[in-house]
Amino acid sequence: MSLLSIRNLHASIGDKEILKGVNLEINLGEVHSIMGPNGNGKSTLAGIIAGNTKYTVTEGEVIYKGKNILEMPVDVRACEGIFLGFQYPVEIPGVSITNFMRTAVNEQRKYRGLDPLSGAQFLKLMNEKKAIVEMTTNLANRSVNEGFSGGEKKKNEIFQMAMLDPTLAILDETDSGLDIDALRIVATGVNKLRRPDNATVVITHYQRLLDYIVPDFVHVLYEGRIVKTGPKELALELESRGYEWIKEELEKQA
């Protein structure tokens, strides 16, 4: 069954058109990787799926679980199971991670008609999920992302993903700024969360991450459109040959 279906999506920020007709189908159980040079719309696409109102959708539709979600506020999309792992996680001094996650988990449970977790249940869940990203820090007294290293911030994103157990996770350059150990931990975390009843979109620059997270499909987003889709080997080809040959192919077609 199609989980997410994007058709002819056009979007702009201010006067600048960024997405110029994106088409993408994602099914349950799949991992998709979106690659492409900087400034070609990868983060914009992620932001629009998650519900960032900074972008204006001018044409097209985004159908998730059979519903057009473009009118849905960001928090409702999250409750419907969409998760965005941020490229630049925001520091929020004064809000503890524990309190933040407990509020998020319980608001999502409320949305689904479930009772809130008790303190003990929540702590148990948190300890389980911390293990997935090998998180050893005591989170209780720490503010969200405040004073975190680049690696800690990204681990924290995957930890939040584990806590919220989304149906569709979009990871926006989760590998950027990670050393090799952190990269392994983050990727292992994502793999552990992979199931037949969810799907993941990994946005990345480098093939490196895809050594750990093996995608079913690799897409190239270039100048606001997905211009090429292939199996995981496409990533290797991009790594060795760069993007020039794709540009040339496109020019030939034109």
Partner 1 sequence: MEKIVQQFRDLQPTLRKNEVWRHVDFAALLSDELQLPKGERQTAEYHCNIPNLDAVRMVTENGYCYQPTLQTDEGTLLAGFRDYCSQRPDLIRHYFGKCCPKANPYLDINTDHYTDGIFAFIPDNTHQQKPIQLQSVINAGHGLFLQTRNLVVVGRNSHVVILHCDDSYDNAPAFANNVTEIHVMEGAHVEYYKMQNLNNQTGLLNHTYVTMQQGASFRSVALTLNGGHIRNHTEIRMLGEHCEVEAHGLYLNDQEQQVDNYIFVDHAFPNCHSRELFKGILDDSAHGTFNGHVLVEDGAKKTEAYQSNKNILLTDKAHITTKPFLEIYNDDVKCSHGSTVGQLDEQALFYIRSRGISERTAMTMLSYAFCDEVLQQILLEPVRNSLIDLVKKRLHGELTPCSECSLHCSSPCNGPEVNFHIDPTKL
Note the residues at the interface with partner 1 (CB under 8 A). 50-52, 73-75, 78-79, 83-84, 86, 89-90, 92-95, 99-101, 103-104, 107-108, 111, 143-144, 160, 164
Q: How far is the CB of 51 from partner 1 (least distance, A)?
A: 7
Taking the C-alpha atoms of residue 148 and residue 150, their distance in angstroms, rounded to an integer, is 6
Q: How far is the CB of 161 from partner 1 (least distance, A)?
A: 10
Q: How far is the CB of 223 from partner 1 (least distance, A)?
A: 26
CB-count burial class (<10 Å; 0-12, 13-18, 19+) for 4: buried
Q: Which is nearer to partner 1, 132 or 210 (CB)?
A: 132
Q: How far is the CB of 172 from partner 1 (least distance, A)?
A: 11
Q: Which is nearer to partner 1, 19 or 78 (CB)?
A: 78
Nearest to 181 by CA among 156, 160, 212, 203: 212
Q: How far is the CB of 126 from partner 1 (least distance, A)?
A: 14
Q: Which is nearer to partner 1, 83 or 222 (CB)?
A: 83
Count the Cβ atoms, other than its own, within 10 Å of residue 71: 9
Taking the C-alpha atoms of residue 61 and residue 25, their distance in angstroms, rounded to an integer, is 12
For residue 91, give every residue at least 6 positions away whose Cβ sits within 8 Å of its Cβ, in sequence order, or none.
143, 144, 145, 146, 147, 148
Q: Which is nearer to partner 1, 75 or 179 (CB)?
A: 75
Q: Which is nearer to partner 1, 193 or 238 (CB)?
A: 193
CB-count burial class (<10 Å; 0-12, 13-18, 19+) for 10: middle
